[in-house]
């Protein structure tokens, strides 16, 4: 019952948090010194034509009225049209969303697969050479710039060794779009050649995104395990002669993962938003390249739509983390 109350309270807070996010992003987008009417009208338009277009687009109305109209349209899933392409922004974002999610999920799996075990090893071998090396690598992973790492990986594995494609998401047209996730669509179509191509294109972008995230998880997992490993119940089980690996992987890790789960949620959000740079380097047709193109074109409406979508993903992830916490940390229910 207590868990249900907590989940309901988190869901209730979802609406005002989302509304606050939209208000902030909308205000910031209107601070940018760009005239959408002038962009749409083009370079050869007269001042009279620009003014007429400004009235038609509703830009002559007070800002609160413009926000009310935007909020009304947003409630129906309408984010307006791009100032440059004149295409529907919601459709463009939804079309590109699976590419970014596929890349983010792949990076997240890599980051967890590397970060959590290495964090545990670093903790149980505290102050050893292994621990020192892992701590050095984790600091290096946090310090390295994504765009530099991406270009180095491209130069070595794609250009020099020829093991992976240089950029793009797949060679050729790929399978018929069903879910938008190329790996899933390839399996559904039984198109194994497309599956291999999609995987080979995914490797380097996923590694680029995953390494800094793995470094973060190493540090948090290490800190969480060190905090638990000296607790009384671990000392008791050790004194009872229980096997050390069993104590660490079954009991210590379960308690240590409470803080790591929070970090995993934040890392996923950071990966989703941070894919902008990686997608641009690898020419990955996801939300990141859409955002970069929109920024270069000063397409404020498209930037606004992208920012709101990323913010919504962050809010949903935090909500999911709060709910997961109610299951793995009984102290929250007290």
pLDDT of amino acid 1: 67
pLDDT of amino acid 270: 79
Distinct helix (H) and strand (E) counts, the chain: 14, 0
Q: What is the pLDDT of residues 55-66, one digit of tens each?
A: 888 888 888 898
Q: What is the pLDDT of residues 296-317, one digit of tens each?
A: 888 888 888 988 888 888 888 8
pLDDT of amino acid 196: 93
- Which ranges of the chain have pLDDT less than 70? 1, 330-334
pLDDT of amino acid 142: 83
pLDDT of amino acid 103: 93
Task: Give, rounded to a whole angstrom, the gap between the first and last alpha carbons of the chain.
Answer: 11
Q: Alpha carbon of 62 to those of 3, 20, 59, 199: distances in Å? A: 44, 19, 8, 50
pLDDT of amino acid 240: 77
Alpha-carbon distance 290 to 93, whole Å? 8
Q: With CA atoms as reference, report the closest residue to 215 among 281, 122, 148, 101.
A: 122
Confirm if 103 and 206 have CB atoms less than 8 A apart: yes
Confirm if 218 and 119 have CB atoms less than 8 A apart: yes
* Global confidence as pTM: 0.85
């Amino acid at each position: 019952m207590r868990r249900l109350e907590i989940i309901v309270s988190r869901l209730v807070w979802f609406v005002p948090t989302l509304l606050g996010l939209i208000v902030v992003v909308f205000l910031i987008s209107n601070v940018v010194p760009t005239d959408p009417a002038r962009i749409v009208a083009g370079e050869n338009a007269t001042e009279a034509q620009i003014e007429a277009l400004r009235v038609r687009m509703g830009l002559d109305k007070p800002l609160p009225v413009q926000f009310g109209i935007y909020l009304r349209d947003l409630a129906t899933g309408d984010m307006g049209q791009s100032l440059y392409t004149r295409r529907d922004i919601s459709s463009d974002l939804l079309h590109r969303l699976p590419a970014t999610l596929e890349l983010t999920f792949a990076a997240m799996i890599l980051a967890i697969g590397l970060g959590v075990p290495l964090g545990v090893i670093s903790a149980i071998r505290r102050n050893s050479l292994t621990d020192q090396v892992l701590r050095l690598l984790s600091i290096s992973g946090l310090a390295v710039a994504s765009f530099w790492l991406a270009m180095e990986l491209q130069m070595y594995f794609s250009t020099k060794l020829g093991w992976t494609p240089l950029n793009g998401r797949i060679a050729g047209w790929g399978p018929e779009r069903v879910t938008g996730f190329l790996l899933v669509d390839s399996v559904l179509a039984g198109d194994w050649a497309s599956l291999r191509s999609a995987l080979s294109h995914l490797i380097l972008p996923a590694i680029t995104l995953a390494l800094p995230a793995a470094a973060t998880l190493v540090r948090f997992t290490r800190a969480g395990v060190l905090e638990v490993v000296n607790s009384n119940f671990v000392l008791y089980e050790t004194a009872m002669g229980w096997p050390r690996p069993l104590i660490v992987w079954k009991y210590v890790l379960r308690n240590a993962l409470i803080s790591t789960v929070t970090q995993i949620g934040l890392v996923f959000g950071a990966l989703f938003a941070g894919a902008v740079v990686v997608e641009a380097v690898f020419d990955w047709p996801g939300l990141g390249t859409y955002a970069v193109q929109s920024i270069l074109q000063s397409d404020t409406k498209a930037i606004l739509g992208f920012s709101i979508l990323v913010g919504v993903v962050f809010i949903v992830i935090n909500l999911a983390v709060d709910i997961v916490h109610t299951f793995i940390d009984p102290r929250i229910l007290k």
